[in-house]
Structure 1
């Protein structure tokens, strides 16, 4: 009788579907590029990017919960013109010698159905931390076509004021409002 009870309990465990656990995804640095744009003296919209980003996304599909933790290497700013890269990294703007990284840490991810639609969190630039909300404009969770691993892809955007992060030289001639656009891909860690 005891063997039958053990066998029945074991069979129940096997037959019960396992609850999905949160999965941690490592940011794919070769496909994650934060960009920022601003008005340049009413003449043009300048679009710049950062080429080195790291971090993780934790996604719990069943609970519809997630968290995001991103670090941007501010010395990797890419203006398309090497002397201007140095200018942007200077004391009046990013001051990368003193503040080489910026971070974003989520405090809340809002879902509609199965998809996240916004991420609230704390953005830190030059040791100044401000709350921001990223609007997710696209999101996909699927097997990566080349790596055969679970992956996520997303695009998100928000607007900040550079003067609030002590980077406001030449404002308002050079626009104070900066649009951040983030293209992110991340691969599940195993």
Structure 2
């Protein structure tokens, strides 16, 4: 009589630690230099399949009202109907649809990004997930850094102003970077 060895599940769930998660963006201002901003209200989870990373999934939600560019008037304008319209669309979200290994500790994570009520397919270049580490409080953590570029016009963010000397006030291309720590769910 033979018995099959029990196999331990290689699929684990990890929750985003909102205290150690940041969504940043940069966009050209007056065609001269980048303006950077960030959102601090990041939540979500990672379902990690360590046996086959391509079966992993990630979901994230960002509180649009937490936007901070270090300029209160600009922040108020970005929250207005000219841009994010946070009263109608209080969150931004991402839900993965495909994960592809792209090299050592690098992934391409494709999925649906929703901004301003518009959903488009994007691909994030991802570093990680890092190896699991215990923190001083007994939690197990991992981290990622994910980056993509989008056209803000694809999401209905068309507001702009022509400059007297030519050009425009706000660039079209936006670079988005997420730096996230996850805590393993119990």
Superposed pair shares fold, TM > 0.5? yes
Q: Is the 8 A contact 1:61 1:114 kept in 2?
A: no
**CA separation of 1:133 and 1:106: change in aligned 2, threshold 3 A:** same
1:71 correspondence with 2:67: no
Gaps of 5+ in 2: 162-166
Give, in whole Å, the separation in 2 of the partners of 1:116 and 1:151.
18
Give, in whole Å, the separation in 2 of the partners of 1:60 and 1:23.
7
Gaps of 5+ in 1: none
1:135 correspondence with 2:135: no
* Secondary structure, aligned partner of 1:83: helix
Give, in whole Å, the separation in 2 of the partners of 1:178 and 1:146.
37
Greater Rg by CA:
1
Root mean square deviation, CA, Å: 1.9
**CA separation of 1:185 and 1:166: change in aligned 2, threshold 3 A:** same
Equivalence for 1:48 = 37
TM-score (ref. length: structure 1)? 0.86
The correspondence for 2:183, drawn from 170, 179, 187, is: 187
TM-score (ref. length: structure 2)? 0.88
1:23 correspondence with 2:19: no
Q: Deviations over 1:159-189 (max 9, x none)?
A: 0000110112117711000000110111011
> Whose helix proportion is higher, 1 or 2?
1
Count, aligned residues: 179
